[in-house]
Amino acid sequence: AQSVTQLGSHVSVSEGALVLLRCNYSSSVPPYLFWYVQYPNQGLQLLLKYTSAATLVKGINGFEAEFKKSETSFHLTKPSAHMSDAAEYFCAVSRSGGYNKLIFGAGTRLAVHP
């Protein structure tokens, strides 16, 4: 079975500060891992994905994440927060080997204040 735990349902940072959103996964098979962002009243947009290549993955809008197998983690970071980063972020896991159903975490709402 696969599962995702996102630590912290709400994270608040100042504009220009480091963004760190935590994600831990559980998987009995090699996982694929994803981070999605959801703006109000919109669908999900893929930020980045890990599919067993490089462990440090760079995505859109300056975000990156590092796959750490020993810690079963896939934390999302951005060096400098921007007001436009305020949104809901979801970590997801799937089985490797092509597209399979995504198992999502409960999400982390990121607030960015001036």
Partner 1 sequence: DAGVTQSPTHLIKTRGQQVTLRCSPKSGHDTVSWYQQALGQGPQFIFQYYEEEERQRGNFPDRFSGHQFPNYSSELNVNALLLGDSALYLCASSMGQLNTEAFFGQGTRLTVV
**Chain residues that interact with partner 1, rule: CB under 8 A:** 4, 32, 36, 41-46, 49, 51, 90, 92, 94, 97-107
Q: How far is the CB of 53 from partner 1 (least distance, A)?
A: 11
Q: Which is nearer to partner 1, 17 or 102 (CB)?
A: 102
Of 73 and 94, which has the nearer Cβ to partner 1? 94
Least gap, CB of 79 to partner 1 (angstroms): 25
- Smallest distance, partner 1 to C-beta of residue 4, A: 8
Per DSSP, what are the bridge partners of residue 45? 37
Non-local CB neighbours of 69 within 8 Å, separated by 6+ positions: none
- Rounded Cα distance, 25 and 104, in Å: 10
CB nearer to partner 1: pick between 101 and 113: 101
Q: Which single residue is written with the structure tokens 């994905």?
A: 49
CB of 106 vs partner 1, minimal distance in Å: 5
- The tokens describing 57, both together, are 């993955």
Q: Closest CB to partner 1 among 77 and 96?
A: 96
Give the three-class secondary structure for 40. coil
Structure tokens at 39: 């703006």
Which three-class secondary structure state does DSSP give residue 86?
coil
